[in-house]
Amino acid sequence: MAERIPIASDHAGFEMKEHLRGALEKMGYEVEDMGTYSSASTDYPDYAHPLAAKVESGEAQRGVLLCGTGLGMSYAANRHHGVRAAVVWSPEIATFARSHNDANVLVLPARFVSEEDAVAILKNFLDTRFEGGRHATRVNKIETETA
Ligand code: RB5
């Protein structure tokens, strides 16, 4: 069965979300579009929290968020336990966000990446495995205040 990937954006990421929705479907994923559904002005936390809650609860393994810079979405998503939302602006960083940081939410700065790069970033994010080992030790320390 195809993995169901939730995707959401604010108005600044709306057009890129529409593009990536098609790209995800072409890659064989089932897409859960959690809004926004037009380019009318919206507030990014209204979209980041519901998507991150799905990853926090385990309902979704990973998800995709978009806003203008990626920053607001990442701030809100990273308030959820177990969520590691990475702002990614190049395909290479997408690979490291997965292999070293075990990112489970991809956050795209829609106003600062081309459609071509966004698809390449998405593909690397979805196709790259976490390396574990020393990186797992570090990632596990994120959720605890003391080492
Ligand atoms: C919206 O204008 C913009 O502020 C928002 O998309 C995002 O970049 C916030 O972090």
112 lies in some domain: yes
Ligand 1 atom 8, closest CA:
68
Residue 89 within a domain: yes
Tell me the best of 9, 69, 113 to mutate to test the pocket of ligand 1, counting ligand atoms within 8 Å of each CB and taking the most: 69
pLDDT at 114 over 70: yes
Q: What is the pLDDT of residues 41-70, one digit of tens each?
A: 999 999 999 999 999 999 999 999 999 999
Count of domains for the chain = 1
**Would residue 107 count as lying in a domain?**
yes
The predicted model gives 110-137 an average pLDDT of: 98
Residue 106 domain flag:
yes
| Neighbouring residues of 79: CB distance < 8 A, sequence distance ≥ 6 | 49, 52
- What is the domain range of residue 101? 4-142
The model's pTM: 0.97
pLDDT for 143 beyond 90: no
Mean pLDDT of all residues in 106-130: 98
As a whole number, the mean pLDDT across the chain is: 97
pLDDT value of position 144: 83
Residue 146 pLDDT greater than 70, yes or no = no
Total count of residues recorded for the chain: 147
In a domain, 147, yes or no: no
Active site residue 81: no
pLDDT at residue 96 greater than cutoff 70? yes
112-119, Cβ contacts within 8 angstroms, sequence gap of 24 or more:
112/68, 112/69, 112/70, 113/16, 113/89, 115/16, 115/19, 117/89, 117/90, 117/91, 118/16, 118/19, 118/20, 119/19, 119/20, 119/23
- The CATH number of residue 68's host domain is 3.40.1400.10
Query: What mean pLDDT is predicted for residues 92-103?
Result: 98
pLDDT band at 26 (very low <50, low <70, confident <90, very high): very high
Q: Taking residues 77-98, report their average pLDDT.
A: 98
What pLDDT score does 147 carry? 54
Q: How far is CA 63 from CA 47, 68, 72, 91, in A?
A: 12, 17, 16, 17
Q: Has 11 been annotated as catalytic? A: no
Please tell me the distance between residue 117's alpha carbon and the centre of ligand 1 in angstroms. Answer: 20
**pLDDT band, residue 1 (cuts 50/70/90):** confident
